[in-house]
Amino acid sequence: MAKRCFVWLSAIVLLFPLIGGLFSRALAGTPGEAGEIMRRSALVQFYSGNDMRAKVTMRLLSKEGGERVRELIMTRRNVKAGGDQKYFLLFRQPADVRDMTFLVWKYPQKDSDRWLYIPAIKLVKRIAANDKRSSFVGSDFSYEDVSGRAAEEDNHTLLREEKYGGKEVLVIKSVPKDGKNADFGYKVSWIDKGNFVLWKEEYYDKRGALFKVFTADEVKPIQGFPTTVKRTMKNVQTGHWTEAAYGEVRYNLGLTDGVFSERSLRNPPKELAR
């Protein structure tokens, strides 16, 4: 009798991880679980710290060998973690855009407010709400790529788990709930299982053809936050790509709401201009 009980207990112990693994994989494949993964990844990509400042250098490269460079100072302040945010950008190079400023008040649940100051004509211009899918200063990043897309705008499905660059990742497919409000048919994201860093993202057009690929080329911890300091966006249909390097990244600077005002467009605060 004791021997029979031992056999049954051994079988249960051996089967438990298998049953648990099957249950875990089934749960992970549900839309709710995939949506939560995308929300946590967005927090890592766009909401680390209460605020952030970085010097950004962008190289715009063509397959013919052409190269253009953009240098700017980017600041960001969270109004609410995972919710509203404010961005202020000050352009330093090239000469024709020097001192141009750009202000964004981002609302995940509705269109963002955007203003651009053009110093050559001393004009503050309101940017149309649907411009979020337009190219960001001529690069292969869109305005939405820079400030993030709300996870709630898409339906998400966990496709599989695999290794990417030696790291365990979750591969998630996202389809816009409103196709008219997106410039892609669907996208596939490779999310780090450990810290939710976005390592790669493929964008497919509305015919199902791959047209744009994002890669995180270097990620390092800064003040305890995993930070993508080098990233690339490549348009595989045109052969054009953009490399962006984030330098002098700092979090939790105590930036006030006044920095992110329309008044700052014409007169950027000194702490941003340094």
pLDDT in tens, 200-232: 999 999 999 999 999 999 999 999 999 999 999
**pLDDT of res. 111:** 81
Contact 81, 257 (CB under 8 A): no
Mean pLDDT of 73-94: 92
Distance CA 18, CA 215 (A): 34
Answer with the residue of higher pLDDT: 195 or 11: 195
How far from 61 is each of 66, 187, 211, CA to CA, in Å? 6, 23, 16
Q: For residue 35, what pLDDT band results from cuts at 50, 70 and 90?
A: very high
Mean pLDDT of 46-57: 95
Q: Which residues pair with 221 in a beta bridge?
A: 226
Interacting residues of 201 by C-beta distance below 8 A, sequence separation 6+: 187, 188, 189, 190, 213, 214
Answer with the residue of higher pLDDT: 161 or 146: 161
Q: Which residues pair with 113 in a beta bridge?
A: 105
Answer with the residue of higher pLDDT: 156 or 183: 156
> HEC states along 169-213?
EEEEEEEECCHHHCCCCEEEEEEECCCCCEEEEEEECCCCCEEEE
**pLDDT of res. 136:** 82
**pLDDT of res. 184:** 93
**pLDDT of res. 273:** 64
Q: Which residues pair with 212 in a beta bridge?
A: 203, 235
Q: For residue 186, what pLDDT band results from cuts at 50, 70 and 90?
A: very high
Residue 150 has pLDDT above 80, yes or no: yes
Mapped onto helix, strand or coil, the DSSP state of residue 216 is: strand
Q: Which residues pair with 59 in a beta bridge?
A: 69, 243
**pLDDT of res. 253:** 94
